[in-house]
Amino acid sequence: MSTETARIEAFSDGVFAIAITLLILEIKIPMPGSIPLSLQLLRQWPSYVAFLISFAFIGIMWINHHRLFTHIRRADNTLLVLNLLLLLGVTAVPFPTAVLAAHLGKPEQKTAAMVFSGTYFFIAIFFNMLWRYAASRNGHLLSSEVNLNSALHISRQYAVGPLLYLICFGLAMVSVMASLAMNLALAAFFALPPKYAAGRPRAGDMAGVR
Amino acid sequence: MSTETARIEAFSDGVFAIAITLLILEIKIPMPGSIPLSLQLLRQWPSYVAFLISFAFIGIMWINHHRLFTHIRRADNTLLVLNLLLLLGVTAVPFPTAVLAAHLGKPEQKTAAMVFSGTYFFIAIFFNMLWRYAASRNGHLLSSEVNLNSALHISRQYAVGPLLYLICFGLAMVSVMASLAMNLALAAFFALPPKYAAGRPRAGDMAGVR
Amino acid sequence: MSTETARIEAFSDGVFAIAITLLILEIKIPMPGSIPLSLQLLRQWPSYVAFLISFAFIGIMWINHHRLFTHIRRADNTLLVLNLLLLLGVTAVPFPTAVLAAHLGKPEQKTAAMVFSGTYFFIAIFFNMLWRYAASRNGHLLSSEVNLNSALHISRQYAVGPLLYLICFGLAMVSVMASLAMNLALAAFFALPPKYAAGRPRAGDMAGVR
Amino acid sequence: MSTETARIEAFSDGVFAIAITLLILEIKIPMPGSIPLSLQLLRQWPSYVAFLISFAFIGIMWINHHRLFTHIRRADNTLLVLNLLLLLGVTAVPFPTAVLAAHLGKPEQKTAAMVFSGTYFFIAIFFNMLWRYAASRNGHLLSSEVNLNSALHISRQYAVGPLLYLICFGLAMVSVMASLAMNLALAAFFALPPKYAAGRPRAGDMAGVR
């Protein structure tokens, strides 16, 4: 954490922390009534699935943000704006999550799953914009000690993100479960350190980073 | 970030982060029913507009707060109180936003737009008070290494804020859309680094800062 | 901010920031209907009063917490627990505030004002416990460079807090408005730096601090 | 707080701070009506009990997290994921708390108490996983200056956690009050510094830590 990026990271940490903590508020509290409590709790399974998926996703986005900012050491006005764009995506997550939870297993679950995957498609684009800007012009915002290989691994892992989420989006029209399964697989893919997730960089890739 | 202002910045970051993340809670989750989900989602467009505008505004206020505190290095009791006054405006933002979202395109949208612009008028005044106090008495709370030109640019950019938001407020009585458009233009103006937003400082301006 | 107390301050800043930002959620959004929007907005004045009072109170508690921790440099398990007790009071504030907002100007406003003042009575006690513990045993948790006069001023200002809030509590049974006015006066008293709020320390007071 | 773990701690502080502050939102605001306000306030006692218990629990979990990270100085990808797993448990706490508050003193309070204790059983496991991973392979993520005795005390105190919470869970089927009392006793046990809570380490324990 450099002095220059400290407040960007602190503000972003706050946003991630709040977004991930608010998710629990979407789960309805079962009230005393004619239906047994245990049954009421079980019937809410789509809410738990949506909560767990969104928690994992926001958590993994935080890990990725953290990873980027171990490389990024300088900040300018454009970086502040691109970081806000990414946080816009992060704060929006509770909405598609709640839409999915309300419609999973119901007639219109396909529309809900498309809203859900669509959100992550945009977030994947925003992650790419933030990283590519920081790494542009010979890595002008990166630490001078940055490991070139590590930066390249990130670039390559991120490059495929938007396309893969677009496939998720299309898959939702065919099968909601297949789309959600692919969403989870993608989350695992982006949770992995880039050196395992991306293949070995080739010489020609170097130009893309610095 | 100096040791003396570190906690003011951390507390303010927390307030900005929460205010910007709570905005999503104002968007209603469409429930399964007789109206198709896609239609329900589309009909909520005023909520999305209000969400995006408020997100942009709080984000840009954070950028400005961040910018001020790269110059401010010392803190006293008055600065703490003026910063709280500014944060009062920031935490209030979700209310006029929700009022606007509830009335946009409805008969009383003018009143809603006036409440909305009025809030930013007060915030613009609070920003001026904070900055002018810190820069007063020969910049007594500013870093000794502060760039005089940069400080002057901020003073000049901020000086016009309250008047411009007052025009926005008046414009809402005539045309809601014109008022909102001017609001967005002002947001872009304050997102810009001061050196581009304000004209070139003249010699006579110097007295205003230190 | 010392390394040892950095996380206590960061965690406390988070709690203060969230408590102060959540207050706006207590204000109801007027919906389109038969009553004009401007009238609906005006009729909600007790909500605005409650919001402003609570914002000022939480803000001033933050200033006081900040002030204490410019003196406190060491932390032990007891300090962590006493700080949590104080934060318990801070997080509780939105509840008595909402009770007051719901009943101000209604038949049971006296009960509501008693709940409101009672909360601050307990918070005043918790502030005293935290500070007295840190300053006990010859100021064992205070910075070695701590200004003795400044520490004494805090001790004397805080010592009268619980009694004054108890009077506020009793006053609510007689007159709600008098009690709220005294609440506001107390807020201003605790916002002041201790050297102005407390009288000049006498020699005999020294024993109380270190 | 080391540079490497600073953002993990900042993010975790944010999550703990929000989770502990959101608890108050679960308490219903009594509205003016036919039942006297004082009676309405008294009848809500299960909400206050649930609020106080959850506040104490999240506060004590924060103290424990803080304690672990005075020992942990290095971070890797697995630690990030294990920390997220622990935070998953922390953010979930408002839900079982609200379920307990809604059903305490009602026919299905046993089910509610089981949900409540069950949550803490999982959190106890997550705490063990985080700590055991950091302390594994000769304490590869611990500070080189870590006090071995102190680390051992933590290991021993945590080792009994899951079993004790499992007993709480079973006890809820017999007596809700006994289960809640044991929950409170466990909270006190984990609030204590490990050297008082755990017995004296024996020579054979050393292998478990480094």
Q: Is D98 exposed, middle or buried (0-12, 13-18, 19+ CB in 10 A)?
A: buried
For residue B32, which residues of chain A lie inside 8 Å, CB to CB? 102-103, 106-108
pLDDT number for residue D203 = 42
For residue D95, which residues of chain A lie inside 8 Å, CB to CB? 24, 27, 29
Measure the CA angle with vertex D194, ends D193 and D198; round to 5°: 135
Q: What is the least distance, in Å, from the CA of A55 to any CA of chain D?
A: 7
For residue C99, which residues of chain D lie inside 8 Å, CB to CB? 29-30, 37, 41
For residue B59, which residues of chain A lie inside 8 Å, CB to CB? 84, 87-88
Residue of A1, A4, A5, A11 best to disrupt the B interface, most CBs of B under 10 A: A11
For residue A14, which residues of chain D lie inside 8 Å, CB to CB? 14
pLDDT number for residue C1 = 47
- Proportion of chain D above pLDDT 70, given as a percent: 90
Contact (CB<8Å) B25/A94: yes
Instruction: Check: CB of residue B180 under 8 Å from CB of residue B53.
Output: yes
Predicted confidence (pLDDT) at residue C204 exceeds the cutoff of 70:
no
CA distance A14 to C66: 19
For B:13-32, CB contacts with C below 8 A are 13-15, 17-19, 22, 25-26
Q: What is the pTM of this model?
A: 0.86
As a whole number of Å, the end-to-end CA separation of chain A is 21
Least Cα distance to D16 among D100, D95, D120, D92 occurs for D92
Chunked into runs of 10 residues, chain A (210 residues) has average pLDDT values of 76 92 86 88 86 89 90 87 94 90 88 93 93 81 74 84 92 92 88 63 42
Amino acid in position C152: L
Q: What is the least distance, in Å, from the CA of A80 to any CA of chain D?
A: 18
pLDDT number for residue C205 = 41
For residue C53, which residues of chain B lie inside 8 Å, CB to CB? none
Q: In the structure encoding, which two tokens stand for residue A108, read together?
A: 């219109």
CA distance B103 to C161: 45
pLDDT number for residue C111 = 93
Average pLDDT over residues B54-83: 89
Q: What is the least distance, in Å, from the CA of D84 to any CA of chain B?
A: 20
The ipTM of this complex is 0.82
Measure the CA angle with vertex D67, ends D63 and D68; round to 5°: 120
pLDDT number for residue B26 = 80
For residue C36, which residues of chain B lie inside 8 Å, CB to CB? 108, 111
Predicted confidence (pLDDT) at residue B103 exceeds the cutoff of 60:
yes
pLDDT category at B87 given cuts 50, 70, 90 is: very high
Report DSSP state, residue C146: -
CA distance C96 to C50: 9
pLDDT category at C191 given cuts 50, 70, 90 is: confident
Contact (CB<8Å) C19/D21: yes
CA distance C40 to C23: 19
Contact (CB<8Å) B193/A77: yes
Neighbours of D16 (CB within 10 A): 25
Helix, strand, coil shares of chain D as percentages rounded to 5? 80, 0, 20
pLDDT category at C164 given cuts 50, 70, 90 is: very high
Contact (CB<8Å) C32/B99: no
Q: What is the least distance, in Å, from the CA of B199 to any CA of chain C?
A: 36
Contact (CB<8Å) C103/D38: no
Amino acid in position A208: G
Q: Which residue pairs, CB below 8 angstroms and at least 24 apart, start in A75-78?
A: A75/A4, A75/A5, A75/A8, A75/A141, A76/A141, A77/B63, A77/B191, A77/B192, A77/B193, A78/A133
Q: What is the least distance, in Å, from the CA of C58 to any CA of chain A?
A: 19
**Lowest-confidence region among A150-159, B48-57, B133-142, D58-67:** B133-142
pLDDT category at D204 given cuts 50, 70, 90 is: very low
Predicted confidence (pLDDT) at residue C52 exceeds the cutoff of 70:
yes
- Residue pLDDT, tens place only, C96-142: 988 988 898 888 999 999 999 999 999 999 999 999 898 877 777 77
Amino acid in position A196: Y
pLDDT number for residue C196 = 58
- The more confidently predicted of residues A3 and B8 is B8
Amino acid in position B46: P
Q: Which chain B residue lies closest to A106 (C-alpha atoms)?
A: B32
Does any CB of chain D come closer than 8 Å to the CB of residue A38?
Answer: yes
**Cα-based torsion angle of the residue sequence D80, D86, D90, D92 in order, rounded to the nearest 10 degrees:** 100
pLDDT category at C197 given cuts 50, 70, 90 is: low
Contact (CB<8Å) D21/C3: no
Q: Is the dihedral of CA C169, C174, C176, C178 positive or negative?
A: negative
Does any CB of chain A come closer than 8 Å to the CB of residue D77?
Answer: yes
**Which distant-in-sequence residues (6+ apart) come within 8 Å of B69 by Cβ?**
A7, B1, B5, B8, B9
pLDDT number for residue D111 = 93
Chains that touch B (3 or more CB pairs under 8 A): A, C, D
pLDDT number for residue B178 = 93
Predicted confidence (pLDDT) at residue D16 exceeds the cutoff of 80:
yes
If phi > 0 it is left, if psi is from -120 to 50 it is alpha, else beta; for residue D147 that is beta
Q: What is the least distance, in Å, from the CA of C68 to any CA of chain B?
A: 12
Does any CB of chain D come closer than 8 Å to the CB of residue B193?
Answer: no
**Average pLDDT, rounded, for chain D:** 84
- Residue in A22, A29, A52 nearest the CB of D98: A29
Report DSSP state, residue C72: B
For residue D31, which residues of chain C lie inside 8 Å, CB to CB? 102
Average pLDDT over residues B47-53: 86
CA distance A43 to A29: 12
For residue C17, which residues of chain A lie inside 8 Å, CB to CB? 14
pLDDT number for residue B195 = 64
Q: What is the least distance, in Å, from the CA of D21 to any CA of chain C?
A: 5
Number of helical H runs and strand E runs in chain B: 10, 0
For residue D18, which residues of chain A lie inside 8 Å, CB to CB? 17-18, 21-22
**Lowest-confidence region among B43-52, B106-115, B158-167:** B43-52
**Lowest-confidence region among B97-106, B134-143, D39-48:** B134-143
pLDDT number for residue B206 = 39
Neighbours of C139 (CB within 10 A): 19
Q: Which chain A residue lies closest to C10 (C-alpha atoms)?
A: A10
Least Cα distance to D117 among D29, D193, D53, D200 occurs for D53
For residue B18, which residues of chain D lie inside 8 Å, CB to CB? 18
Least Cα distance to B76 among B4, B20, B179 occurs for B4
pLDDT number for residue D209 = 43
Residue of D80, D90, D122 best to disrupt the A interface, most CBs of A under 10 A: D80
Q: What count of CB pairs under 8 Å joins C to D?
A: 88
Q: Which chain A residue lies closest to D14 (C-alpha atoms)?
A: A17
Q: What is the least distance, in Å, from the CA of D10 to any CA of chain B?
A: 10
For D:95-124, CB contacts with C below 8 A are none
pLDDT number for residue D179 = 93
Predicted confidence (pLDDT) at residue C168 exceeds the cutoff of 60:
yes
Contact (CB<8Å) A20/D81: no
Overall residue count recorded for chain A in this entry:
210
pLDDT number for residue D26 = 80
Overall residue count recorded for chain B in this entry:
210
Q: Is the dihedral of CA A36, A102, A187, A14 positive or negative?
A: negative
CA distance B72 to A72: 24
Looking up tokens 């991630």 gives A16
Average pLDDT over residues C86-99: 92
For residue D14, which residues of chain B lie inside 8 Å, CB to CB? 14, 17
pLDDT number for residue D15 = 94
Measure the CA angle with vertex B198, ends B193 and B200; round to 5°: 115
pLDDT number for residue A1 = 46
CA distance D154 to D209: 10
Q: Which chain B residue lies closest to C17 (C-alpha atoms)?
A: B15
